[in-house]
Amino acid sequence: MKNFLKRVFPYVMFGTAWVLILATFLLGERVPKQLSLLLFTLGGVFLGFGAVGIALSRIRMSPEQQKEYERGEHDERNVAIREKAAMSSWYWTLYMLWAAFMLIEIFVGGLWGVAISVVIVLHCAFYMINIHRWNKKM
């Protein structure tokens, strides 16, 4: 049953996405703008996950290719490269968050500034938690 659901679920998500997007267009002005945005956003998310799930289900690998893939996933050099990339992306996203914080504080201020401050603090906290977690694993 579980294997059946894994095969069918991406198609269900893909179909649901098109139903949500079509419903958004058909309902038009009859629903509040926030609900329309929510339906359209959910449709986009489901469409993305469904399309990727369908594409991944179509990929077939031989047992030798699967073993080589697994070996590449756990290779120390590849793990080190992924870790360096994660650190670099963390720093760049932190800079982007600070830029967004400064722009919002200058032009908008108020509650949005507080929200961005909370996001930046959470970003840094998640970084510290992950450093601690990975140091324990090493």
Query: d(Cα 124, Cα 128) in Å, to the nearest integer?
Result: 6
**CA dihedral sign of residues 40, 42, 43, 44:** positive
Quick: pLDDT tens for 20-47: 999 888 988 888 888 888 888 899 999 9
Winning range, highest mean pLDDT, from 6-10, 96-100, 104-108: 6-10
pTM across the whole model: 0.51
Query: d(Cα 46, Cα 40) in Å, to the nearest integer?
Result: 10
DSSP 29: G
The full set of domain ranges for the chain reads 1-59, 79-138
Q: Is 52 helix (H, G, I), strand (E, B) or coil?
A: helix
Sequence-distant (≥ 6) Cβ neighbours of residue 118 within 8 angstroms: none
Q: Which residue is listed with tokens 């959470």?
A: 122
Sequence-distant (≥ 6) Cβ neighbours of residue 28 within 8 angstroms: 36
Region 101-127: mean pLDDT is: 79
Identify the pLDDT of residue 135. 67
* Backbone φ and ψ of 88, nearest 5°: -65, -45
